Structure 1
Amino acid sequence: MKFTSSILTLALSTLLFIGCKETNSKAEESKTITSTTEIKKNIIAAKPETASFTIDGMSCAIGCAKTIEKKLAATQGVQEAKVDFDKKQATVNFDADVISPEKLQEIVEKAADGKTYTVSAIKIKA
């Protein structure tokens, strides 16, 4: 009985240790993305432009819109990205010397499996 109890205790301890480690890794990853985004906001764009476009294929505000928004915001050259799920609209402030509107479109369309999202009606303001 003591042997079984010891094995069970060891198994639970190992499971808890591994589970906590994964949670901490995800928290650190989130901090890195936030820090990178905050740093990029402080960099002045050499050739600032704003792209707005429609995104079709989003099915939810958190899983789709926020994921696309985070991927765009984490991209080098992007100053700020906003994705409005209800309007199916994205607005991205970016440095045209660093990234092109075509690359922004590619990032969105490849965000899931490469077939889920479609970008259309791209408008650029200098």
Structure 2
Amino acid sequence: METIKYILSLFIIAMLLTGCKNEIKPEIKTVKVEITKEVDPNVTFAKAEFTVEGMTCAIGCAASIEKRITKMEGVKYAKVDFDRKLAMVEYNKAKVNHTLLEKTVTSITDTYKVTDMKTVDTFSTK
């Protein structure tokens, strides 16, 4: 009988310690991605900027979009600015186009929407 009381007491204490958390704190992770690619000097590159709607965080959303675009064949550079909701991509015009960029972003999750896609000479810095 004493053993049952002891086990029951330990169980109740364990439940109180693990089950009574009123506040859930998100886990914060910092991810730095650097991908280096060989660049053919005879390739013609273009730069595109577009808005990405539906992102909820810089580490999960913006970083995953940036990583996915960077892995595309023909992409030289990609940066997604969460605060500005802006993606900036430099790509090989023979391998990548605006439609392919949009499909890549929207295929990650259906909450991401691409708007205002445009070709630019230089990336905006604001």
The answer to whether the superposition gives a TM-score over 0.5 is yes
Paired amino acid for 2:69: L
Q: Give the conservation status (yes or no) of the 8 Å contact 1:78–1:93.
A: yes
Q: Which has the larger radius of gyration?
A: 2
Q: Give the conservation status (yes or no) of the 8 Å contact 1:45–1:95.
A: no
Alignment of 1:100-119 (within 5 A): 100-112=97-109, 115-119=110-114
Please, which runs of 5 or more residues in structure 1 have no aligned partner? 1-32
Paired amino acid for 1:99: V
Q: Which residue of 2 aligns with 1:47?
A: 44
- What TM-score results when the alignment is normalised by the length of structure 2? 0.65
Paired amino acid for 1:110: S
1:121 aligns with 2:81: no
Root mean square deviation of aligned Cα: 1.7
Q: Give the conservation status (yes or no) of the 8 Å contact 2:37–2:76.
A: no
Separation (CA, whole Å) in 1 of partners of 2:41 and 2:67: 20
Greater helix share, structure number: 1
- What TM-score results when the alignment is normalised by the length of structure 1? 0.65
Runs of 4+ in 1 over 6 A off after TM superposition: none
Shift of 1:39: 2.1
Instruction: Count residues with an aligned counterpart.
Output: 89
